[in-house]
Amino acid sequence: GKRVNRMKVAVFPGTFDPLTLGHLDLIKRGSALFDQLAVAVMTNRSKKPLFTVEERVAQIREAVSGLDNVSVITTDGLTVDLMNRIGADYLMRGLRNTTDFQYERDIAAMNNFLDDQCETVFFLAKPEYQHLSSSILKEVTSSGGDISAYLPKNINEALKQRIEEEKLKQVKEHNEKTR
């Protein structure tokens, strides 16, 4: 049966590479709705990450430090398994557009098949964040564009530094090849 009168615990999974103000807005809204919200940094092997999982966890912890009921954890494997481990009934996801909706609807159906206690809760992205994605932001910033308006301050600094490091690495590799 459905669990009654217990804390409403939610998981917000993602790669967060990097965490954007769009993500942070969803986290703030989720923390107002749920008793406990666990931001779960997925170790997604298919995407080549800009930041390590440890770096992302530290960045997000700093960005959410004012929200007492938000924790930041890491996970690989099935989200429903993580939810069972930490006693979460709710899976929180943000929707930007119809593409997100179709993708997330299918994942929600699969998660519900894997665990019928898993309730997916969708938040609509605010209009000013609807066009945002971490991959677009990485592309723009690696080409020298300023995207600081879309990132928490600490993550903007880390991103600038990382892009510089990547550029230096490429120059160094190029120089070693041409010797």
Beta strands in 43-150 (DSSP E): 70-75, 90-95, 119-124
Q: How far is CA 133 from CA 65, 88, 150, in A?
A: 23, 26, 10
Annotation says 134 is catalytic: yes
Nearest to 150 by CA among 142, 162, 161, 138: 138
Active-site residue, selected from the candidate residues 3, 47, 131, 167 = 47
Distance CA 118, CA 80 (A): 7
Burial of 115 (0-12, 13-18, 19+ CB in 10 A): middle
Active-site residue, selected from the candidate residues 29, 61, 96, 105 = 96
Annotation says 47 is catalytic: yes
Active-site residue, selected from the candidate residues 23, 31, 56, 93 = 23
Active-site residue, selected from the candidate residues 31, 56, 93, 134 = 134
Beta-carbon count within 10 A of 48 CB: 7
Please state the φ and ψ torsions of residue 61, each to the nearest 5 degrees: -55, -45
Side chain identity at residue 21, one-letter code: L
Q: Which residues are catalytic?
A: 23, 47, 96, 134
